[in-house]
Amino acid sequence: MTCKFTQLSIQYGNTSQSACIYSTYGMVRLLILRDFGVARDYMALACQLDSHPQTGDGTIGRFTAGSCLLHYYCHVRVAFPRLLEGYLSGL
C-alpha cells in the first residue's frame, strides 16, 4: 500500500498526508531494500513537505523521519532534537 500511495502522490501531486507517505516509503527502502541513499532522499522530502502548511501538519513526517530513519545516518544526539520536536508537536 505504501508503494501505491507513493506512486499516486508522485503522479497526482502532494496532499496533507504525503509527508507521512514519503517517510514510510523511506522506511521501506531502508529496512527492506537496504537502499540508504533513496531512503535519505525520501526522508528529506518528507521533512520538507511537513514544514509547509499546505502539504503537512508538522508532526508525522518529522516524527517518522526522526525516530525511524535519521538515526541510521547520524548519531542519536543529532537525531534526538528532530524526534523530540515531532513528539512535542504531537502532544
pLDDT in tens, 36-81: 888 888 888 887 877 776 666 666 666 666 666 676 777 777 777 7
Which sign, positive or negative, has the C-alpha torsion 10, 14, 15, 21? positive
* Alpha-carbon distances, residue 14 vs 3, 9, 58, 90 (angstroms): 15, 5, 15, 21
Position 25 pLDDT exceeds 80: yes
Position 28 pLDDT exceeds 80: yes
The reported pTM is 0.73
Which amino acid is it at 41?
D
d(CA 84, CA 88): 6
Position 87 pLDDT exceeds 80: no
